Every structure is written in C-alpha cells, then in structure tokens.
C-alpha cells in the first residue's frame, strides 16, 4: 500500500461559501485526489490536517467530509489509523433499496423483476464459467436450505448466499454487488411470504427450485439454468401475491 501526497489546488471562491457547501466541496476535492493520484483499495489518504491546509478550510470541515465518505463506503476509517480507500461493496445500495421498500417508493414485485433481469444473466455466466469448487458450494448451500426450512432466519441467509455465490461464479465483479444489494430485501419480505407456506411440502418446493438451478450450473448447462431460475422466480412471485404484495 502506498500514499501519494500531491497537493490539491482548490478553486478560489469569490466569497466564503456556507458550511455545508464547504463540506460538499471538500468531498469532491478528496474524491478528486483519490482518482487523480490513482489510489487503490487499501491505500492511505493524507491526514485531515493536510487536506485542511491544502483546501484552506478547518479540520472540522474535513472531518465531516471524511465521515460522509465513510458512510458512502468510499473511504474506510478506523480508530487510531489513517483513512484509506475502501473496497467496492453493495452496502450503500442495499440500504437505499431497503429504505425505498420500507417507504413504498418501490414494491417487492418491482425488486423481484429487477432481480430476475440481473440473475438471468448471472446464472447463464455461472453455468459457463463456474469452477468445480463453486458448483460444490452451490449444492452445499442447497443442502443447508433443506435442513433449515423451519428456521426462517437461517433459511433466508442461505438463500441470499446462494444467489450471491452464483453471481460470484459469473466472474463479473459488479454482479455480486448488485445481487447482494437486491437480495437484501428478502430479509424484509421473506417473513411475510414464508408464513403463506405453512406445510413442509410447500417449503421444500422452494428448496427444490434452488436445487434445480444449482444442478444446471454444476452440469454447465446455461439454458437449463435459465429455465430453472425462471421457475424459481415464478414460484417466488406467486408467494409475494399470496402474501398481499401485488
């Protein structure tokens, strides 16, 4: 890991901007520094004091900018250590989608439609590109789902892990982030949908739908994987309707 210390040359304002504008300007300057200096994940940023000096603002402004960038997962801050460039993840997207779902800006069926579009591609690529270890992991996750159909919390986490594992096998680093963000809504909807599947057979039907996807990917058959995914999403959409999510 390395640190690059090229000074920032801020634009000269004609008048003193309000405090929030100063924070916004600092955010842009810090991200410009990251990109302009080609910093990579794990590279350390200059100190708050150095940014404050370069930009001609107080350390309080830089501290607020750092906090905002940390919340956006652009940088990572730890006590007693210099801020560093953060790795790419879907946590902010997931938080935004969950907020949109809870405030009824989007509905579960719309989330499922988006998932279906993205995951149709991920299962296709996974069937072509997956390793033997990844195929075994998918089948193992299905076996774990079989064992916990009456434990909703564990079932949901295995379900999310299954779809993310498919995305990882696609070899496109953007897909796991998108799928992890989109599937996070399952923690909101699964309790209501699962209550509609009162008997063991209807719950095992969901697991078998996942098993068909895993087997098709393990067999290296993208067409079968897509067909199995379509059946899975049809079943999931029926469950949403039964739970009152029209």
Mean pLDDT of the chain: 89
Q: What are the pLDDT digits (tens) for 17-32?
A: 565 689 999 999 999 9
User: Do 92 and 45 touch, CB atoms closer than 8 A?
Assistant: no
What is the predicted pLDDT for the residue at 200?
83
Higher-confidence residue of 158 and 187: namely 158
Architecture of domain 19-85 in this structure: Orthogonal Bundle (1.10)
Confidence of residue 187 (pLDDT cuts 50, 70, 90): confident
Confidence of residue 186 (pLDDT cuts 50, 70, 90): confident
**Residue 246 corresponds to which tokens in the numbers above?**
């029209």
What is the predicted pLDDT for the residue at 194?
81
Confidence of residue 16 (pLDDT cuts 50, 70, 90): low
CA dihedral 104, 109, 113, 114 (to 10 degrees): 30
**Total residue count of the chain as it appears in this document:** 246
Q: Residue 52 belongs to what H/E stretch?
A: helix 48-55
Q: Is the pLDDT of residue 78 over 80?
A: yes
Q: Is the pLDDT of residue 159 over 80?
A: yes
Residue among 78, 80, 90 at smallest CA distance from 179: 90
| Domain boundaries defined on the chain | 19-85, 91-242
DSSP string, 158-171: HHHHHHHHHHHHTT
Confidence of residue 12 (pLDDT cuts 50, 70, 90): very low
What is the predicted pLDDT for the residue at 13?
46
Superfamily of domain 91-242: GntR ligand-binding domain-like (1.20.120.530)
User: Do 51 and 28 touch, CB atoms closer than 8 A?
Assistant: no
Global pTM? 0.78
């Amino acid at each position: 890991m390395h640190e690059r210390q090229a000074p920032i040359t801020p634009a000269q304002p004609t008048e003193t901007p309000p405090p929030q504008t100063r924070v916004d300007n600092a955010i842009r300057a810090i991200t410009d520094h990251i990109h302009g200096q080609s910093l990579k994940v794990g590279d350390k940023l200059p100190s708050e004091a150095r940014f404050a000096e370069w930009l001609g603002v107080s350390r309080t402004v830089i501290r607020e900018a750092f906090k905002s960038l940390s919340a956006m997962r652009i940088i990572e801050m730890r006590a007693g250590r210099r801020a560093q460039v953060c790795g790419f993840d879907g946590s902010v997207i997931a938080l935004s989608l969950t907020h949109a779902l809870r405030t009824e800006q989007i509905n579960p069926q719309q989330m499922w439609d988006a998932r279906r579009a993205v995951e149709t591609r991920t299962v296709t690529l996974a069937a072509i590109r997956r390793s033997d270890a990844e195929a075994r992991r998918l089948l193992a996750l299905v076996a774990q789902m079989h064992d916990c159909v009456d434990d909703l919390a564990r079932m949901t986490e295995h379900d999310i892990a299954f779809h993310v594992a498919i995305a990882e096998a696609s070899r496109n680093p953007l897909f796991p982030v998108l799928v992890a963000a989109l599937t996070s809504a399952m923690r909101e909807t699964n309790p209501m949908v699962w209550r509609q599947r009162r008997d063991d057979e209807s719950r095992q039907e969901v697991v078998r739908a996942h098993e068909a996807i895993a087997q098709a990917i393990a067999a290296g058959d993208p067409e079968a994987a897509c067909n199995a995914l379509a059946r899975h999403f049809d079943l999931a959409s029926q469950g949403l309707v039964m739970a009152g999510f029209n």
